[in-house]
Chains A and B, each alone.
Chain A
């Protein structure tokens, strides 16, 4: 069997170019592999990885420590909402326009933003950690889904 090639290069891009770059990859048929955040001494580093067969395409954003925010790519890759909610809950990153926004309830962690945020991690109030899924704020329904009314 002939192994597929793998290019590990990562292209740094500004936040303003993210949606355009991601949209271009989507049109070429790439799929989203993962989005990861890394806490750096001077900010936050995001890596977006896409793949088409054996080929990899990776972008990198560097966000300053002061109020980091990034646009959601879930309008292009719907499944990105999971990665984006995770980055919000673990790193305190504000992601604007997520297709499904859990509003900080994606992970029930004992402390807020445990992977480091611009603010020091703080213990969540006891009521927050004990919040059940049914009483938690309902996430935004996926596009096209029916709006439900509880009885």
Chain B
């Protein structure tokens, strides 16, 4: 059988966003994958020359519609580090709660997309049904479902009352129950296991060398989670990175499933420990200096490099998103796989092209 090139994307049923792969195949075996990205590069980093550093929070939040809050939070953290702003502790706890809610809804979104890619439509619908409840909590506490708009330099714009926190914890109890039912299927159903177990194995050392981040890296056994840096309220909270050692698609799915419950636990801890007090401080002047700030998004480490020269516009705003870091691993995983496994392997890195094409 001669070799053939099969185009995969940029428009494809499993891809919500455009990315293209030229798959070199022999029979049903993929021999090589040649990527093309950059179909929707938006040049948001360049906008920093037109928007002042306070306004730019809104741009940072719009880098991605799934992890938008953590983008805004990371940008604010970076500016606060340059300007030595002491953010009130209550604001740090609120940021932690909203960040973990983002992680839950992002992982549920991914679980649904993965179920859809496998043709398990009822599991897809259940995953998104539960996700909707998380979005309702977010809407109730921030006013938004996609863009929260609550983070600002020096703190947050909105508080969560004691009653709202109690309601959130009660809702989380029901969400946890439903999520356990769903993850039980993901982790035990034979048809899911057939599609994921042993598919796209990424050994520990290779995952590290390729610069992988997030669940992609932890599923290969590397203990790395930027929340260990202790930003926001994480320095006061107990948690340990969730890892697996198999490094296959099933392990990556399992890490995301377990992280759902870890995030719920972190929210409960934060709700118990959240101090009373101010939620923001006034920030005056312009930033002068540079910083590299890293946080843990649902898809992994995001790195923000900011450079300021004392004017109201930053000199440079550079974002390295988790998907950008996980793309090389995807290219390494595809050669040798079956053509039918390509959608699973592409989805297994939880690709966010919107982030990558910032």
Contact = CB atoms under 8 A, between A and B. Distances in A.
Interface of A: 1-4, 6, 8, 10, 31-34, 36, 38-39, 47, 49, 51, 53-54, 56, 58, 77-79, 81-83, 89, 105-109, 114-115, 133-134, 136, 138-139, 141-142, 145-146, 148-151
The secondary-structure label for the interface of chain A is: loop
Nearest to B335: A145
A151 B292 contact: no
A69 B295 CA distance: 32
Contact of A109 (B41, B294, B318): B41
Contacts of A47: 305
B198 interface: no
Contact of B34 (A83, A108, A138): A138
A78 B32 contact: no
B32 A148 contact: yes
B38 A108 contact: yes
Contact of B31 (A33, A53, A146): A146
A79 B315 contact: no
A34 B303 contact: yes
Interface residues of B, number: 55
Contacts of A138: 22, 34
Contact of A36 (B4, B239, B305, B335): B305
Nearest to A77: B211
A138 to B, nearest CB: 6
Interface in B33-64: 34-39, 41, 43, 45-46
B295 to A, nearest CB: 12
19 contacts: A1-B236, A3-B231, A33-B301, A33-B303, A34-B305, A34-B320, A36-B318, A51-B294, A58-B292, A78-B209, A78-B210, A79-B328, A82-B324, A109-B38, A114-B46, A133-B36, A138-B22, A145-B32, A148-B24
Interface string B2-21: 11110100100000000010
Given A3-B230, A8-B291, A138-B34, A114 B238 contact: no
B5 A134 contact: yes
A124 to B, nearest CB: 12
B41 A79 contact: no
Given A79-B210, A148-B24, A1 B335 contact: no
Given A34-B305, A49-B305, A149-B3, A107 B41 contact: yes
B307 interface: yes
A35 to B, nearest CB: 8
Contact of B292 (A56, A81, A150): A56
A4 B43 CA distance: 33
B325 interface: yes
